[in-house]
Every structure is written in C-alpha cells, then in structure tokens.
Structure 1
Amino acid sequence: MSGTEKSKAHAEQVKGKAEEVVGRAVGNERLTAKGQADQAKGKIRQAKEDVKDSFRH
C-alpha cells in the first residue's frame, strides 16, 4: 500500500471515530451517522489498497 493512501485511509477512520464519539456525546444522530460513514469509507479504502498490494507480490 502506498504511504499516502495508507495515511489517508487511517486519517479518514480516525476522523470518523472522532465525529461518531462527539455526535453521541451531544446527542446528534446525524453527526454520529456521518462519523460511522467516514469510518466505513476509510476501511473500504484500506481494503482496496490491500487487494492491490496482494496482486503486486
């Protein structure tokens, strides 16, 4: 996995987790859902890069 894509995926997951936690703390369902969606996007991006890496080796 390229370093930049890996860091983007990780940053997206961290950002999503933070949004989810803040959303739950303040009772904002929309922010909680957005955080969960961002986490999912980060995990998908990471999985995509893992598949690309498996074909390179």
Structure 2
Amino acid sequence: MSGTDKFRNKVDEVSGRVQEEVGKATGDSSMRARGRRKRSGASLKQAAEKVKDAFRGGTRRRNRRV
C-alpha cells in the first residue's frame, strides 16, 4: 500500500470519527450515521490494501530465494 493510500484512509477514518462524535454531541443521528459509515469504509479499504500487500510481499519473498 502506498503511503498516500494509507494517509487517505487514516484521514477518512479520523474525519468519520469526528463527524460521528459531532453528531452524537448535537443529537444529529444522520450525521452520526454518516460518520460511522465513513469510518467503517476507511477501515475496509485499509484491510483490503493490507491483503494486497501481503500477496505482493509473498511473491517477492519467493522470488528472492530462487
């Protein structure tokens, strides 16, 4: 995963958490739900990128041993 992707996912995660907390503080349930969706979406993206990195790293390690 590139550093840019990691950064974007972390920004989305943090902004979702902030949005969720603002919605909670103001009693705005739709804002709270949008923040939750944004945060969970960022977490899923990060997980998918980690899986891709694991596969890429696995093939590189095998190639080095040969």
Same fold (TM over 0.5): yes
Deviation readout 1:2-57 (Å, 9 max, x if unpaired): 10110111000001000000000000000000000000110011001101100111
Q: Give the letter for the 1:37 counterpart.
A: R
Aligned CA-pair RMSD:
0.5
Q: 2: CA distance between counterparts of 1:5 and 1:29?
A: 29
Q: Give the letter for the 1:8 counterpart.
A: R
Q: 1: CA distance between counterparts of 2:41 and 2:3?
A: 17
Percentage of pairs with the same residue: 39
**Structure 2 residue runs without a partner (length 5+):** 58-66
Show the 5 A alignment for 1:25-36.
25-36=25-36
Runs of 4+ in structure 1 displaced over 2 angstroms? none
Which residue matches 2:39? 39
Q: Report the TM-score when normalising by structure 1.
A: 0.97
Larger RCO (CA under 8 A, 6+ residues apart): 1
Which residue matches 1:12? 12
**Structure 1 residue runs without a partner (length 5+):** none
Q: Report the TM-score when normalising by structure 2.
A: 0.84
